Amino acid sequence: MDRLGSLFDPKADLSISEHIRPHWSQAGAIVFITFRTHDSIPREVLDRWEKEKQEWIRRLGFSIDQHWSDVLPTLDPERQHQFKKEFNRCREDFLDRCHGDCVLRKPELAKIVADTLMHFDGIRYRMGDFVVMPNHVHLMASFESEDAVVSQCDSWLHYSARQIKLARGSKGRFWQQEPFDHLVRSPDQYQYLRDYIRDNGTKAGLLPGEYLYRRYDG
């Protein structure tokens, strides 16, 4: 297994922090994280996905008054996997269409994000593969403590946003808060996510220089 970290162990200690969505973390485990710019997904698209999630839950026989986020943890693992696979794919496909200003297409701004991610590599965390796309970022990393993921993501977002806004002479929100994160559960999934990060730019039809890819070599 790669030296980046370990696979998620369902029998080991686990931390779940509740913000807008739950974040699962485990000391030493590899986590796949996605964060996106504030303008990458329009409000009307998010509202449509919310309705589709509610309809998905309703088709299972749950009341329309029950919110999908309350129902999902009560479903069996296979149902949960189906739900997440369907709606995660919707999100990733939409992001790859490069909506919004896509300012990270500029190499000098993508480098700010990359430098931010690498700054404490080997000190606060181990940084694996990542790709900086025009309006979002995918990365894999591992953390020594269970409570470090959320705080470190907040730090990355805050610092990189400040530097990007200084470089552009702009104000206002840059990142959407609450990144998506997923603990890696198998060697096959780890390799799939590495391939996904590697191929993300070309699959989105971007040219060299319009995205920034970093490969972890251990």
Helix (H), strand (E) at residue 51: helix 43-58
pLDDT of residue 20: 41
Just give the CATH number of 15-39+102-214: 3.30.70.1290
| Domain ranges within the chain, ordered by starting residue | 15-39+102-214, 43-94
pLDDT of residue 106: 97
pTM of the model: 0.80
pLDDT of residue 3: 62
**H runs (alpha helix) in 60-147:** 68-71, 77-95, 107-118
Average pLDDT over residues 77-90: 82
Say yes or no to pLDDT of 16 above 70.
no
Tokens standing for residue 81: 């996997």
Q: Which strands sit side by side in the sheet containing 125-132, from one edge to the other?
A: 180-183, 30-36, 136-143, 125-132, 212-214
- Least confident range of 48-57, 111-120, 132-141: 48-57
**Furthest-apart CA atoms within the chain: distance in Å:** 52
- Least confident range of 10-19, 151-160, 179-188: 10-19
Say yes or no to pLDDT of 118 above 90.
yes
